[in-house]
Amino acid sequence: MKPLAITAGTVLSAIGHGLEATEQALLARRSGLTPCDFAGIRTGFIGRVPDVEKHGLEGVPTGFTCRNNQLADMACMGGGFVQAVQAARAFYGAGRIAVVLGTSTSGILSAEEAYRAVDPISGYPPEGFDQARTQDLFSLPRFLAARLGLEGPLLSVSNACASSSRAFVDARHWLEAGLCDAVVVGGADSLCQMTLRGFASLGLVSPEPTRPCDAGRSGISVGEGAGFALLEREGARPDATVMARWVGYGVSSDGHHMSSPDPQARGAVAAMREALERAGLGAHQIDYINLHGTGTSVNDAMEDHAVQAVFGPEVACSSTKGWTGHTLGASGIIEAMFAVVMMRAGFAPGCLHVTRLDPAFGSRVLTQTVHMPLRRVMSNAFGFGGTNCSLIFEAV
């Protein structure tokens, strides 16, 4: 495939706001996980972004205020991202920049709060509840387009935990079709009771900070966050600074089970091989793999099986969810921005909280930070229902 340029990017998670803060936390091996204290829930640990509730939205129509849009607004305000989009808008025109964003829960917390406040007599939610601008899955791209002054086509992608990775693919399709000249791609997912209680009911929440790839791993820690990247055709805007190149992708759907991955990893293998093929690369040309690595027994074992099948035991890999928790639909963009940070700074972060690597694993899982040149990074995202997406990024 013809590479696309990432000309601007920003990220927000429990470990910090912006690329610089993220780099510092990754290098310091400083986790953002804390004991769960959200909405009266006390199960496990979470990756909570501080002070989201205090963040006000400005310059957008009323009704958009919800935790998910607040996260998105906080993220886009970091690292000069708004200014970069403004420069692209001045060059291409507001109607030629699309917004393609992934989310799995959107502003469902607002609906949860509204449900608790339903009038017992009329059965109606509170008068101020704006479902279309908060809970609706289309709220996020509508909000961000209004926030950035963009008038191009909008798309919301909800592919479970692969949502914001898959958003890259749909953004590319629109660029190839000539519907736009640049795309703000990414996503956001926020803490809510549905995900915290839902994963707990499935027995997937770890009572301790998640330990991906550890022999004694016991589940996930749910997190939240947001991130965005500005995608453009290479060379289309001569004065644009290129942060990284997106050179390959693979997608698949194995449909093995509603919530459990295929133990044979057929979909994951297909996605990774397709990404390599589209990029025109051999397995040996990938320097590091950011694993989906949720910390559950079956997910990590499946992904190790898949990595062995495609890469053997040579390519370094690890999961960064010990820092942020599993940010669900936002994990793809957050970890894409992590890949940019790692390539620019030249390091691969080993998994956090590992006391004993699973002896059954055959892939080269890092448990300590390794400083080395990273030319190309693959980032995996595998979601409920068997949706799989692998992206390959290249340094400039």
pLDDT digits (tens, 9 = 90+) for 153-203: 999 999 999 999 999 999 999 999 999 999 999 999 999 999 999 999 999
User: Would you give the distance in Å from CA 372 to the centre of its chain?
Assistant: 24
What pLDDT shows up at residue 306? 97
In a domain, 164, yes or no: yes
| Range(s) of the domain holding residue 333 | 4-385
The token pair at 337 is 């921005």
The number of folded domains in the chain is 1
Maximum Cα–Cα distance for the chain, whole Å?
66
pLDDT tens digits along 319-334? 999 999 999 999 999 9
Tokens 């707990």: give the residue. 200
Taking alpha carbons only, the member of 270, 293, 288, 277 closest to residue 352 is 293
- Give the 3-state secondary structure of residue 13: strand
- Give the 3-state secondary structure of residue 321: helix
pLDDT tens digits along 10-28? 999 999 999 999 999 999 9
What pLDDT shows up at residue 262? 82
In a domain, 279, yes or no: yes
Which amino acids are annotated catalytic? 161, 292, 326
Instruction: Return d(Cα 2, Cα 279) in angstroms, integer.
Output: 8
Across 109-131, average pLDDT: 93
SS (H, E, C) 67-120: HHHHHHHHHHCCCCHHHHHHHHHHHHCHHHEEEEEECCCCCHHHHHHHHHCCCC
In a domain, 390, yes or no: no
In a domain, 270, yes or no: yes
Q: How many CA atoms lie within 13 A of 182 on its CB side?
A: 31
Q: Please provide residue 25's backbone torsions phi and psi, each rounded to the nearest 5 degrees.
A: -70, -40
Q: Which CATH number is 131's domain given?
A: 3.40.47.10
User: Would you give the distance in Å from CA 384 to the centre of its chain?
Assistant: 15
Asked whether residue 35 carries a pLDDT value surpassing 80, the answer given is yes
Asked whether residue 260 carries a pLDDT value surpassing 90, the answer given is no
The token pair at 345 is 């700074």
C-alpha to C-alpha distances, 348 to 142, 182, 243, 244, 342, nearest whole angstrom? 35, 30, 18, 16, 6
Instruction: Return d(Cα 19, Cα 284) in angstroms, integer.
Output: 28
What pLDDT shows up at residue 257? 79
Asked whether residue 259 carries a pLDDT value surpassing 80, the answer given is no
In a domain, 391, yes or no: no
In a domain, 65, yes or no: yes
Asked whether residue 139 carries a pLDDT value surpassing 80, the answer given is yes
> What value does the mean pLDDT of the chain take?
96
Instruction: Return d(Cα 304, Cα 279) in angstroms, integer.
Output: 22
In a domain, 393, yes or no: no
Instruction: Return d(Cα 213, Cα 363) in angstroms, integer.
Output: 10
Assessment of whether the complete model's pTM goes beyond 0.75: yes
Across 144-148, average pLDDT: 98
pLDDT tens digits along 52-85? 999 999 999 889 999 999 999 999 998 899 999 9
In a domain, 196, yes or no: yes
What pLDDT shows up at residue 385? 82
Asked whether residue 255 carries a pLDDT value surpassing 90, the answer given is no
